[in-house]
Structure 1
């Protein structure tokens, strides 16, 4: 019998196949932050460098700074960090 909120192994595997970034062991706040990183990286890589200005840069920086350092090794966070470094206008 599954406890409330626990997923079966087949359901967990199906969700992982749909979204490899999904991780049920993570607390919901971190899952949301991780997805925000992924969406931000996707949006920034879709823009030419000269369009990554002002509010866009500020939002990326705010997001990065809000992530606990314990999560800086996660792929999406590293990608966000790297895209910020590519665009040196963001400190």
Structure 2
């Protein structure tokens, strides 16, 4: 078994742990510590230009950084995507 195959279960376990942690933080968030919204229409600065992207649904807890994928909006399918981080400070 190569190193990448050995790391895969560890990455899955870490991802599951982080997901469970976020569920707890979301359910225990006090008033004004959680933000839920949908950004539509949405734009992002991609390739040195503002471009329309697919709508983004966000469920943020104050102080927690979230990774999301921005996908270029197009009729013929997704042509470009980029990762971004969002954070809500209350």
Q: Which has the higher strand share?
A: 2
Which one has the bigger helix percentage?
A: 1
The verdict on a shared fold, with TM-score over 0.5 as the criterion, is no
TM-score by length of 2: 0.32
Instruction: Between the two structures, name the one with larger relative contact order (CA 8 Å, sep ≥ 6).
Output: 1
Which one has the largest radius of gyration?
Answer: 2
